[in-house]
Copies of this chain bind each other. A is one copy, B any other.
Amino acid sequence: MAKSKKPLSELEAFVLGLIWQFGPISPYDIRRHMQRSPSTQWSASAGAIYPLVRKLEKLGFIASKAERTDPRKRTVYRSTAKGKRALQMWLGPPLSPEAVTVTYDPLRTRVRFLGVLNSGEQMKWLTAAAKGLDEVEKKVKDWQQTYAQSGPFVLALTRNGELELETRRKWIGEVGKLLTAAAKRPT
């Protein structure tokens, strides 16, 4: 049989996707691309990317081509037909279980435990959080500018960034109101 390959990890699929989308591309450029992204989901470390790319090649999902040899070598990769199919499989439908899950928002995790601070500190925390979101917005806008007008999918990402930020801001604001209301109503 041999058909039972285990599914790609999120990082593997992401790198394969980038190679499919921007290939021919070098691991070094993949790393820079990831480092410039506002997301901190992955470190984009050499220790992750280079071995991963070699693995994808061994799987036959991507093919390498030496662009400049020996001294200052540079190897670029592009997706193979098999790689494209693997990416399509990964995308689905059906959507894999980890594709459909609640988002992970570190601010949400923290609000869960805001009760460990006193009322005054809670308000300070919320102010700091709002300021943090301003920083995030800057980074997102930077990213958007560099990758502007790259088709409907980048536009979709841009739009996601806007909506997401708006929602988080609104929520932080509501949490503030909730807490002041709770503080006034003594137990």
Contacts and interface: CB of A to CB of B under 8 A. Distances in A.
A106 interface: yes
A161 interface: yes
A153 B99 contact: no
Given A98-B106, A100-B129, A151 B91 contact: no
Q: Could you tell me the dominant secondary structure of chain A's interface residues?
A: helix
30 contacts: A14-B109, A17-B112, A21-B112, A40-B102, A84-B116, A87-B116, A88-B116, A91-B113, A91-B125, A93-B125, A94-B128, A95-B128, A95-B129, A95-B132, A99-B132, A100-B135, A101-B136, A102-B139, A102-B161, A103-B104, A108-B157, A108-B160, A114-B153, A114-B156, A151-B182, A159-B174, A159-B175, A159-B178, A163-B170, A166-B167
Interface of A: 10, 13-14, 17, 20-21, 38-41, 84, 87-88, 91-95, 97-117, 121, 124-125, 128-129, 132-133, 135-136, 139-140, 151-153, 155-157, 159-161, 163-164, 166-168, 170-171, 174-175, 178-179, 181-182
